[in-house]
Structure 1
Amino acid sequence: MTGYEGSILRVDLEKEKLERCILPEKILRMYLGGTGLGAKILYDEVPTGTEWSDPENRLIIAAGPLNATAIGGSGSVSVVSKGPLTNGAGCSQANGFFGAYLRLCGLNGIVIYGKAKGLKYLYVDSESEDLKDAEWLREIDTYKTPDLIKHYYGCKERDMAVASIGPAGENLVKFAGIFFDHGHSASHNGLGAVMGAKNLKAVAIVKGQKEIPIKNPSKVREIAKKLIENVKEQNRNLYDYGTLFGIHSNAATNMLPVKNYTTSTWKISKDKMRKYGAQYIREKYAVKRNSCWACQIHHCDIMKITE
C-alpha cells in the first residue's frame, strides 16, 4: 500500500515482549494519520472505565502517510492515550524528527502497554528493537536525556530522535509532557505522566534507511517546493523569524495568553515589548538557525543568553 508501511511495533512492558505487526489496509485507509490510527487502537484495546494509570491503558506514538517525505514539517508525530487531567482520551502532537525516523525504520506506530518492573527505555532501529535499563537516567531532565542516550550509542545529533520524560513524568505529575528532540512537547492531557506510570523513561529511534512508499514521488516534490515558495513569498516573517513574530501581532489584538491564560491583555511598555520581538531576539541572542524535518520555518533557534 503506497503511503504506508502498514507495520506497527507492539511493546508489552510487563512481559518485555516486542513484536512488529502488520495492520490491515482497510484500517489504514479508514483512520488516516497518526491521530486517526492512534484513536482507533485506543478505542479497540482499552476497555471502558480503565484508569489512565492502569497498565492496560495504551500509549500510542504514531505517524501518518506524509511523514518522512519532502513535505515541510513532516517529522511531526501524534501521541494518543487516556490522560490524567481528564481520565479520558486525548492526543497531542510534537514536531521534530521522531515521526520521520519512525517511518524510516519501517514503522507507522508504536503501541505501548503494561508496566515495566523497573525504569526502562525503548531502543528501535530499522531491524531490531529492545528494552534497556534506564536507572542511570532517573531524575535527569528531558534536555540531557537525549544527549546521554545518543552519546551511549555513538550517534550524532541528527542520527537519532528521542522522546523522553523528566522528573515530573517519573513522579506522575498530572500535567507532565513527553518531549521530543530538545524541546518539542506533547503535553496535552498529561501524557508524560502516562509514560511515567508505565516506568518508561524514553523511546530512542535511530534514523533508518527504509524507502517511503510514495505513489507519485515527483508530484510530492513539486507540491513541497510550492509550499516552500509560498512561505518565502507570502509568509516571509515565518521564514525569517519563525513563530516569534506572532508575539507582537497577538499582543496588539489582545490574543496573547497571559498569566496562564487568565487574561489576554499585557500591560507593558513599547520598549519592553520590542525586546520580546522576533527581530530583537534573533539579532541579539540567536546562535544557530534550527529547523524540524523538511521544514523552512526555523522556529527552533538555538540561542545564547548573554545578559
Structure 2
Amino acid sequence: MKLASFRRTAEPEGTRHVGLVVGDDRGWWIHPFPEGTDLIELLAADPELREEAGDAAAQGDGLAAADVVLLAPVYPVAMRDFLTFEAHVDGMERGHGNPGVPDDWFDAPVFLFMAPHAVTGPYDDIPMPPDTERLDFELEIAAVICRDVRNVTPEQARDAIGGYCVMNDWSARDVQGKEMRLKLGPSKGKDFATTIGPWVVTADEVDRFRDEDGFLDLEMTVKVNGEQVGEDRSGHMGWSFEQLVSHASRASWVKAGEVLGSGTCASGSLAESWGRTGSLTPPPLQVGDVVEMSIARLGTVRNRVVADPELVPPAPRARRRLAAATPEVGA
C-alpha cells in the first residue's frame, strides 16, 4: 500500500490530507481517507484493518496528480541518518586523504541527528543555501517508524518499521567540511533541506524483495538534469533497517513518527565522485539543476535548485577573548 500526504491545488498552504495512492510514477491517483486520518496511525494499524480502510478509500472519487500538491509524507518528530554503505565510506575517505574504510566503522552503525523542520516535499523547489559553492545531493532509502520502542532486538524492531520512502539528504559540502574540522557538526551544512517522498510504501508491500540475508534489496538511481550519475542497491547496506532501529533504541527511545535514513548509497553523491577522482567532476549543483532520485517500488522524488528568495543574514564572527585575557610576560 502507498500512503501519501497532500493538499488540493486550490487549498491554502498548511492544509494536509492523507490518501491512498493508486498507480505509480507513470500515472497515479490519490483517494482521500476520511478527514482526521493520521498516516503514522495507519502504518501502525493491523494490516487487515489498514487494508479495509484502503479498500473503503478506493471506492471514493480519486484525485489526479494535476489536482494535488504532494507534501512530505510525514513531518518527523525526529530524524537520524546512518552511514551504512561501505563503498560510499571508502570514496569519502579517499577525498579526505585516507583511502580505505576505518576499522571503527564496522563496530556499530553510527548516525547523526537531522533537522526535522527542514523536510521538504517530493517535488518542492530547493533554495540554494548561503555560503556554499559545493551543493550536493545524497541518495538514501528511509524507514518511517510507527511504534515507540526502546532496547529492542532486531527481530522486535521489525514491527516498528511502518514503511519506506526515498530520501535526499541535501548537503553543502564546503560548509560541512569546515564545521567538521572543528570536531562538531555537520550543522549548517545540512539543516536547510531534506527531501522525503513521494509517499510511504508499507513494509509488507516490499517484504518479498529481501535478499537471502534478509536485507531489503531495491535498485536506487539518481539523475541530474536527466543524466544518470549514480546507482546502487539497498541490499548493499552494511546493516539492515531492523539492526539500525535496534541500535538506535539501545538505552534510548525511538519514537513513532521518526524517520531513519540509510545514509548515502555508493555513487549516490557528488562528493564521493570528487573523492575518487580528486576533482570536482561532476560539478557541484547550480541554480536551475534538477535532481531526480528513484528507488524501485518506492517511487521518485524530483527537485529543482532555485535562487533563495529570502534575505539571509551573514554568519556572526566570534569576538577574540584569549589574547585579551592572557597577561604579558613580566607584567
Tell whether the structures are fold-level matches, with TM greater than 0.5. no
Question: Over alpha carbons, which structure has the higher Rg?
Answer: 2
Whose strand fraction is larger, Structure 1's or Structure 2's? 2
- Taking structure 1 as the reference length, the TM-score comes to 0.30
Structure with the bigger RCO (C-alpha within 8 Å, sep 6+) is: 2
